Amino acid sequence: MSKKFAYSIAGAVILIVVAVAAVKKKQFAPPPPFEFPPEAVTTAVAEAQQWERLVSAVGSLRADQGVTVPSEGQGAVRHISFESGQKVAAGAPLIELDADVERAQLASAQARAELARLNLERAKELWERNAIAKSEFDASDAAYKSAVADVASIQANIEKKLIRAPFAGRTGIRMVNLGQFLDRGNPVVTLQSLDPIHVDFSLPQQRLAEVRTGYEVRVTSDALPGRVFTGKVTAINPEVDTGTRTFRVQGTLANADETLSPGMFVNVQVVAPEKFAVTVVPATAVYFQAFGDSIFVAVEAKDEKTGQTVKRAEQRFVRLGEARGDFVVIESGVKPGEEVVTSGVFKLSNGTKLAIDNSLAPAASLTPQPKNS
């Protein structure tokens, strides 16, 4: 009886120990591996685009013709025939100087010329009758020609007292007043021919093979935001500056409304007729680091727990090319059609699960025009 009881007690104790061990094993079992929750990001698809070949520079505008009209004669200003900022035709009178003395001299010279003409006619009749020597006839002929030259000289001086526009254009602010005495060479007014207008800019000699006459020119200015003016390359300086190793280029633009003014600072792009293929992504997709630039590509992967297909980040080191607008060229590392992360890249690592939400993602553009805030 005692042995059976002892065996029963021992069996019960063993069962209790086994039960306790099983419970403790569950309590001290290692937890399942921890996984961070998905990171919220936006994405975009790498695109294959055709880009124009551009050569960029800065330049300044120059009038087709522009001068400061000077006074060609001496005298007091008698009449002003234009207003500041007025459009004038070629040959239009601008300033008239006092020419009373010259007109009196002209009348006297014309009288002497008429007398010399009559003397020449008489001498010719006498010479034809052999009544005078040939030398006397020649003297009369020379006297007449000299008198005619004197008339022409005085007329030229009178003409210089009337200052005319050398070409059609728009006047600046006048620099003279009525009654003011002008000497030869004194400035009267600036005159600019504004349509067409030229843009002058310089390029490094390495660009010499990329620019040709006839190529399109695009001009923008901070003074006229949002506007693009187009024209053509009309001249390339055949000489390279030995000091700067640059060459000068001239573009010509239509300016019928005279929006562009000479002297303006502008940004210039020369557009070649051929295009080239590139793979581009938004510039915000690039993760710039000291050891290399990289991009996170959203790739499909199978979740080991749920068995469902999820998106995970795959880090790829890339080689960057030219940047334009919101885009940057990817020369290697990403192919067209692949989905890349465009925001939140700083919080990602290789293999991070992604929660993609593109509802508020801004659209990338080659010509972004953000609003002035």
Domain boundaries, the chain: 39-50+277-356, 55-64+196-274, 74-97+163-185, 99-160
Give the global pTM.
0.69
**Spatial distance between the Cα atoms of 76 and 99, rounded to a whole number of angstroms:** 9
Number of other CB atoms surrounding residue 46 within 10 Å:
20
Q: What CATH number does the domain located at 39-50+277-356 have?
A: 2.40.420.20
Fold of 55-64+196-274: Elongation Factor Tu (Ef-tu); domain 3 (2.40.30)
- pLDDT, one tens digit per residue, over 82-103 is 888 889 999 899 988 888 787 8
- Does residue 3 register a pLDDT over 70? no
Helix segments in the chain, DSSP class H: 2-27, 100-128, 134-160
DSSP state of 6: H
Q: What residue ranges in 255-353 does DSSP mark as E strands?
A: 265-282, 294-302, 309-317, 319-324, 327-332, 339-343
Fold of 74-97+163-185: OB fold (Dihydrolipoamide Acetyltransferase, E2P) (2.40.50)
Tokens 């005279």 sit at which residue? 258
**Spatial distance between the Cα atoms of 12 and 36, rounded to a whole number of angstroms:** 46
pLDDT value, residue 31 = 58
pLDDT band at residue 237 using 50, 70 and 90 as cut-offs: very high
Q: Which of 366, 364, 373 is nearest to 325 (CA)?
A: 366
SS3 357: coil
pLDDT value, residue 2 = 64
- Which residues, at least 6 apart from 69, have a Cβ–Cβ distance to it below 8 Å? 94, 163, 165, 166, 187, 188, 189, 190, 191
pLDDT band at residue 286 using 50, 70 and 90 as cut-offs: very high
User: In this predicted structure, which of 89-98, 156-165, 226-235, 364-373 has the lowest mean pLDDT?
Assistant: 364-373
- pLDDT, one tens digit per residue, over 12-62 is 667 776 666 666 665 555 655 556 688 888 899 999 999 888 899 999 999
Q: Does domain 99-160 have CATH number 1.10.287.470?
A: yes
